[in-house]
Structure 1
Amino acid sequence: MRRLLLAGLIAFTVLPVAAEAPSSAQKLDLETIMANPDWMGHAVENPYWSVDGRSLYYRLKRDSSPVRDLYRIDPASGTSTKLDAAATARAEGPAIYDRAHRYAAYIFHGDVFLVELSSGRRTQVTRSALPESSPRFSADGRALQFRESNTWYVYDIASGVTSPAAVLKFADDPQAKKPDALGQQQLDLFKSLREDKADKDALHANEQELAVADASRAPQPFYLGDKQQLADTELSPDGHWMLVVTQPAHHDDGKAPDVIHYVTDSGFTETEAARTYVGRNDPAPQSVLLLDLAAHKSYPLSTDNLPGIKDDPLKAIRAKTVAELQKAGKDDDAKALKAPDVRPVTLYSMDSDSAGIVWSDDGRNAALAFLSIDNKDRWIASIDFAHHALVPQHRLHNDAWINWAFNDFGWLKDNRTLWYLSEESGYSQLYAKPVDGAAKALTSGKFEVSQPQLSNDGKWFYLSANKTAPYSYDVYRVPTSGGELNRVTQYGGMEQFALSSDDKQLAVLHSSAYVLPQLAVQNAEGGTPRELTNTMKSGFSSHQWIEPKIVEVPSTHGAGVIYAKYYGPADETNALASRPAVLFVHGAGYLQDVKQGATYYQHEQLFNNMLVQEGYVVLDMDYRASQGYGSAWRTAIYRQMGHPELEDLLDGKAWLVKNHGVDPKRVGICGGSYGGFMTEIALLRAPGEFAAGAAQRPPSDWVTYNAQYTSGILNTPQVDPEAYKISSPMTYAENLRDPLLINHGLIDDNVLASDSVRLYQRFVELHKKNFWISLYPLERHEFEHADAWYDEYRRIYELFDTWVKPVR
């Protein structure tokens, strides 16, 4: 449950057609700003240091192609080289190092490579059809561990031999099967059967004995039964232990709706299954087994001792719903809502998509992060290996829901002190806790900390924080022992960073309003950076784009300040006393668009420029639920999606009227995904406030969205039907009185087009007027074709030109 949910509710811009850049004085038009973004330039992607630390690699999208080329750049001279196929074959991947710094290893084109640092000799460890991942040196430095899917391998550096760390079989052990009564009778009756069985047992016992004594043999399999299926595995660096995450083998995910493809290569209508609706089945509960690879024994790790796991955070809501069901005579439905005795959990899913399990470097400690399936708790536990039991180390509880972000954790170099992020103060901060001691806050304040990276010498944490202002992000560092949080970079628009292996240099991606992420390098302690790239196109950069002004909109609903970006003419002294405006509403719900870095919405930002050119002003607000402002801001929408956000949008409209001469009768609203949802909510819950609205790919009824995102905010529709009712635009369809345009991709497998079609049918049956729907047969949630982008925004522009701009 992490950032894959957030990305799911954003419309991303990937277009295949080029356009000519406008000159600084050229009037903007839709053909240009909705065309292939290649004319703008390209973002530098995924920088990492070379093995020797003397160069940096990064990727850059190729013009008119989805291909990402690999570049190598010398930070000292700034010389950058695009690598051809032959040079790419000699390139390296992001490296990891053994503790003695004798070797490095990395994954490149899905295979494992080992480098001897003294000589530079490179050894290809694997050449396989399936990709390997997660390279790591063993605790003693003699072996390299890596995984292929959920199978771990150990490469012995001295001998060059590779072997599986463990063999897992999800079946019953045939040797452990006991004869039933009839089988025992057969053995009692027939000598030959007894002899055959004795021979088989002897052979098996001999194999077991040889396996224990002979390290050159492949390991004997672990038979784990057929009631569970494998979810993940994590091998300890000392090779002694393996943690195996399982879930029920026959878990029912629920019925999945179909996405229908009308325009196809075959010429026939085709279907594909999409994700399951929320509440149609909970995620599969997970369990963890501890395997002792040396003794060939397995132990289940019970979660029953996690604090609060037997509580029911939904008790009051559940009781109310049960009472209403019983009153309606739905006793079976009421019984189905009985709370479990022990709440089921899943392992937190890390950015690598592996389970939330982190081993200490020496393999003597492991930390596991569990999430309750009801989304209210996150636990971090270590393992008592002597007693094969979990030891609770930290509990994070939230009456609303635990964040998808800010769940990073790991071990300090002493191998016995945990570090982790937690929102317990109301903001994501960094903590350290010895396994047998008390937690200590390493950072504190009303700002958010993310991307923690431990320096290679173990003395510092480098991290991202918006300490100076919610919209300003930079790299900071703090001693692992605690102390002052020091600012390292001065960009305000820092995106990503990578520390060199000697801890001396920091590679930084940074951006600004009209500059996509660019690469720089600087001293890791701070100082003046050296700018290494400029991948923006001159035609785009030379245009006089409107620099959005970050403003503070006062809340009339007790929320304090709502940060927003204002787009208006450079000189407002001669502006009309009464003019039209548009509120642009960002997507994802939990996303921050008001910041000093580049916006996710490149095309929409250019459309904002065009609107200002045509006499509008535009306001883009980080309404409640947006990222960057702490957990209270994020969870204000719990059980009432669309309500606090609408209050904020109406405050934004009032601010425009008061401060920028906007006519309150000439304000439009538009947005995509969650922004489309808010557009519908604004028109349906506040009729008359907006002259017209354009909703792109909007979730119109939350009962048809997925569990992973929705159940945290609204619980499930079975337990909390009222939350879904008051949060869905479908509920308020009868209130439509202002013009509404809906745009939706027909093969959207995130927010299904059926959401918009169902709402459209409600409007038809309610005899509403001035509503339209535009469907795009070849578009998913993330539009990919320039023609579709152009058509969509042509309709939006014409909607506003007809219903918002008038007074000509």
Structure 2
Amino acid sequence: MPISYLSSSVSTISKVQFILKIWILLLPVISFAQNAKSTLTIEKIMQGTGFTGTSPSEISWSEDSRLIYFKWNPEKARTDSLYRVTAAGENIKKLTRQEAEALPTQAGVYNRAYTLKVYEKRGDIYLYNRKTNQSWPLTKTLEAETNPVFSGDEQQIIFTQNSNLFALHLGSGQLTQLTNFLPGAKKDQTKNDQEKWLQQQQLALFDIVKKRHSEEQASKLENKKFKKTQPKEIYTGEKTVENAVLSPDGNFVTYRVVAPSNNAKKTIVPNYVTASGFTEDIPSRTKVGAPLAASEMGLYDIARDTTYQILFKDIKGITEQPEFLKDKKKTAAPRPVAFYGPFWSDNGKNAVLVLRSQDNKDRWLVQFNPTTRALKVLDRQHDEAWINGPGIDYEAGDLGWLQDNETLWFQSEETGYSHLYTINTRTNQKKQITKGKYEVSGVRLSRDKNFWYFQANKVHPGEQHFYRLSVRGGEPLQLTTGVGGHEVTLSPDEKNLAIRYSTTNKPWELFVMPNRAGVKPRQVTNSLTPEFKAYAWREPEVTSFKARDGAEVFARIYRPTNAVANGPAVVFVHGAGYLQNAHKWWSYYYREYMFHNFLVDQGYTVMDIDYRGSAGYGRDVRTGIYQFMGGKDLTDQVDGAAYLVQKYQVNPKKIGIYGGSYGGFITLMALFTQPDVFAAGAALRSVTDWAHYNHEYTANILNEPFTDSTAYVKSSPIYHAAGLKGALLMCHGLVDTNVHFQDIIRLTQRLIELKKENWELAVYPVENHAFTEPSSWTDEYKRIFKLFEANLK
């Protein structure tokens, strides 16, 4: 054999061996590619409930506990309709509009015997009789009547009309106006010295004038004897009156007087695609740091026909400056506060106010005596970041009275997690009722006031169950069992539970069960479409990893069945900041959940992190972003990416990130400040400069731009845009009244001036903050997928 031929043969054999080796190495990839032909398409996913089916919502019970009402749309109609089913879960029926309109509203107040209920419907007052199961209107007026309640003796209905209180007697039908709040200032009827002198001259010179004047005065005096009693005229100037409340004994009215903030400039959002063909302006909100409306508490003593202003300047801690201001040496004047209540005990002898400082760093529970106008602090919750948490929120929060009428229950984050507490208003004895590294929410007392019912993530941070707990204390009894989320509506007779239940890969359905542990719930609705059920939806792994500071961070992982090493990955960042998404129930971001399944079919690993600032994990996680958004919430994403590389062998150079609203903000911060970690990102409806967002959300976390400017510079992407290296897609609705289009336009100009080229902006002319049109959703997510395909593979 010639050497040349042998050489050629060896070369051919080597080539064949090489090709075989490559073929063997590629087999898993080829096999995966063949198996990964997803039946999902972005067009299908972005139809929303048109693809998944519409879950039941707005669950409520009939007043007699025999029927369950819920909104549903199994017919794929234009809007949801009202349905009903028996307490046993049988005989589902769609109600006509006339039948739905005839039902009492779920809101309203019962008398103490639970025989009568008063409620407002379309601006009129209705009374419902539980024994006859009938309701009828008490008012039929053009003016709106609101906030109806029973009087302390339950003989009258007290309601509000045009900010004034009225009382309608149930027996006689007599209607009495209790307050007389009037705009403007009281006319000054006193005469000056000149006017007095001229009047005396006229009376002295002219007998007929003197005679007529005497007759007029006598007539006024006579008429005054027979003049009907009127409530005191209370002039409010330019201020408005809110929250007028009559005390149970009928002797006092408390009310809030609010002064408008005339200097607060509001933004305008232009709407270009309109029916008129003209650009129309949409009035919108103010920006953080704008002057806030000031409020005062007033008290009207009906017997004395006298008004008083209730001052809070002596409340403990009211003059304390927050830590971030203490080095500025400002005068420690009393901080402005807002009040809620009063909340009266059933016997009408005790009242509590909830006070919140305007900077939201303090919440006080204060006992209030209207007779003496005395204030006594029962509990103070202070947080150098901001007050919030389940059952606490931003206003009064959840609270109520026990049977003894002197013990108040409420919620507090005192231990780092929102738990249930009681305090005795006579002895000041405070007691923690629930304990542990979990959060309690949705607390309510049973009608006999022997039990509390509440939701809690006691089993796992990503599970929500329903519990019953004796007011005498002890261990809460778990009533629900399935892994996932349970939204429970207790029947009025407290014998049955209507449950909205879901898991990570199954949307919400309606179930019913008796109010006792160990009973299997009965499924009532089947909402899923055949198209949705045809796909094998993944159950993402709910796991946790350690952040760089040692904190435990929870996440969802979506992983291909035949995942290969060095594959691409995507990190999803949920919106709202204070929201939970790494849980075991059907996600609020259900389109994104389906998109993640689609991405996995294409070979991506997907991670969804409950970063610092998220709900469900207690106070330290909630406030972990104080004075620095884009701090720990961003490093949690970076640490999550490292976790993907370490545990799931994804390619560290092929990791993308995306999210909307707060998630869009984090995406921008990731690409601007961590350019070597994330190769591409899609920022949707993003905040780009926190100084341009609203006050209610932003000031809690970053204080105000003119008092804590460093926090705003650190936290706003527009200051960090020079760091962009990876590919950036920005998507924004043009008529976004939450995060204004101005936000993304300002960042666009910044990128232009920085001569950045690896970015694009997609505009959606008819969309607000939350998109509604499937065509917009589809276009947006096709662009996101295209971004990842081009940069992560």
Change (3 A) 1:729 1:89: closer
Residue 225 (str. 1) matches residue 217 (str. 2): no
Give distance in 2, aligned partners of 1:171 and 1:256.
25
The AA in structure 1 aligned to 2:755 is H
- 1:376-387 counterparts in 2 under 5 A? 376-387=361-372
Summarize the Cα distance change of 1:103–1:257 in structure 2 as closer, same or farther, 3 Å threshold: closer
Instruction: Quote the Cα distance in structure 2 between the aligned partners of 1:374 and 1:510.
Output: 38
User: Which 10-residue stretch deviates more, 54-63 or 767-776?
Assistant: 54-63
> What code does the residue aligned with 1:242 have?
V
Q: Report SS of the residue matched to 2:40.
A: coil
Superposition deviation, residue 133 in structure 1:
4.3
Q: Secondary structure at the match of 1:675?
A: helix
Which residue does the alignment assign to 1:548? Answer: 540
Between stretches 362-371 and 625-634, larger displacement belongs to: 362-371
CA contact (8 A) 1:38 1:63 kept: no
Determine the structure 1 residue equivalent to 2:33: none
> Where in structure 2 are the equivalents of 1:176-575 lying within 5 Å?
177-191=189-203, 195=214, 198=217, 202=221, 205-206=224-225, 210-211=228-229, 219-226=230-237, 228-248=239-259, 250-281=260-291, 283-314=292-323, 316-317=324-325, 319=327, 338-339=330-331, 341-347=333-339, 355-403=340-388, 405-407=390-392, 408-436=398-426, 437-528=428-519, 529-559=521-551, 561-569=552-560, 571=561, 574-575=562-563
Taking the aligned partners of 1:495 and 1:235, their CA distance within structure 2 comes to 38
**CA-CA distance at 1:25 after TM superposition:** 8.8
Greater shift, 160-169 or 287-296, is seen at 160-169
* Residue in 2 that maps onto 1:142: 155
Q: Is the 8 A contact 1:263 1:269 kept in 2?
A: yes
Task: Report the CA distance shift for 1:201/1:64 in structure 2 as closer, same or farther (over 3 A).
Answer: farther
Secondary structure of residue in 1 paired with 2:498? strand
Partner of 1:160: 173
Q: State the secondary structure of the residue aligned to 1:657.
A: helix
Residue pairs, 1:568-607, within 5 angstroms: 568-569=559-560, 571=561, 574-607=562-595
- The CA deviation at 1:253 is 4.8
Q: CA deviation at 1:468?
A: 1.1
Distance apart, 1:60 and its partner CA:
2.2
Give the conservation status (yes or no) of the 8 Å contact 2:570–2:658.
Answer: yes
Q: What is the rounded CA distance, in whole Å, between the counterparts of 1:501 and 1:401 in structure 2?
A: 36
Aligned equivalents of 1:359 and 1:207: distance in 2? Answer: 36
Distance 1:71 1:501 in 2: 19
Match of 2:79 in 1: 67
User: Is 1:777 the counterpart of 2:765 in the alignment?
Assistant: yes
Structure 2 residue 115 is the aligned partner of structure 1 residue 127: no
Contact 2:558 2:597 in 1 (8 A): yes
TM-score (norm 1): 0.87
Moved more, 407-416 or 634-643: 407-416
**CA shift at 1:673, angstroms?**
0.3
Does the aligned pair in 1 maintain the 2:390–2:440 contact within 8 Å?
A: no
Q: Shift in Å at residue 418 of structure 1?
A: 1.5
Give aligned-pair identity as a percent. 36
Q: Secondary structure at the match of 1:467?
A: coil
Q: What is the letter of the counterpart of residue 125 of structure 2?
A: V
The one-letter code matched in structure 2 to 1:759 is L
Between 1:235-244 and 1:78-87, the stretch displaced more is 235-244
C-alpha contact (below 8 Å) 2:653/2:677 kept by paired residues:
yes
Q: Deviations over 1:9-43 (max 9, x none)?
A: xxxxxxxxxxxxxxx99611111111242331223
- Structure 1 residues 753 and 227 mapped into 2: Cα distance closer, same or farther (>3 Å)? closer
CA 122–666 in structure 1, closer or farther in 2 if over 3 Å, else same: same
Superimposed CA distance per residue, residues 585-619 of structure 1 (whole angstroms, 9 cap, x where no aligned partner): 00011100111222111111111111001110100
Distance 2:240 2:122 in 1: 29
Alpha-carbon distance between aligned partners in 1 of 2:334 and 2:48, rounded to the nearest angstrom: 53
SS at match of 2:181: strand
Q: 1:391-447, CA deviations, whole angstroms, 9 ceiling, x for partnerless residues?
A: 222111001111164322222243322111111111101111121222111111111
Aligned partner letter, 1:549: E
Structure 1 window deviating more from structure 2 (367-376 vs 674-683): it is: 367-376
Give how far 1:581 is off: 0.4
Matched, 1:625 2:613: yes
1:725–1:39 CA distance, 2 compared to 1 (3 A)? same
Q: How does 1:716-735 map to 2 (within 5 A)?
A: 716-735=704-723
Letter in 1 for 2:265: K
What is the aligned partner in structure 1 of residue 206 from structure 2?
Answer: none
Structure 2: runs of 5 or more not aligned: 1-35, 204-208, 393-397
Structure 1 residues 285 and 596: alpha-carbon distance in aligned structure 2, compared to 1, 3 A threshold: same
In 2, Cα distance between equivalents of 1:319 and 1:182: 57
Partner Cα distance (1:68, 1:166) in 2: 42
Closer, same or farther: CA 508–296 of 1 in aligned 2, 3 Å:
farther
Name the counterpart of 1:669: 657
1:724–1:67 CA distance, 2 compared to 1 (3 A)? same
Structure 2 distance, partners of 1:196, 1:311, is 62
Deviation at 1:91, TM superposition (A): 2.4
| Unpaired runs of at least 5, structure 1 | 1-23, 212-218, 323-337, 348-354
Contact 1:461 1:477 in 2 (8 A): yes
Q: 1:763 & 1:707 partners in 2: Cα distance?
A: 27
Partner residue, 1:10:
none
Greater Cα offset, 383-392 or 463-472: 383-392
Distance 1:658 1:273 in 2: 50
SS of 1:678's equivalent?
Answer: helix
- Separation of aligned partners in 2, 1:425 and 1:178: 60
Distance in 1 (alpha carbons) for counterparts of 2:638 and 2:123: 51
- Seen in structure 2, the aligned counterparts of structure 1 residues 311 and 75 have a Cα distance that, compared at 3 Å, is same
Choose 182-191 or 359-368, whichever is displaced more. Answer: 182-191
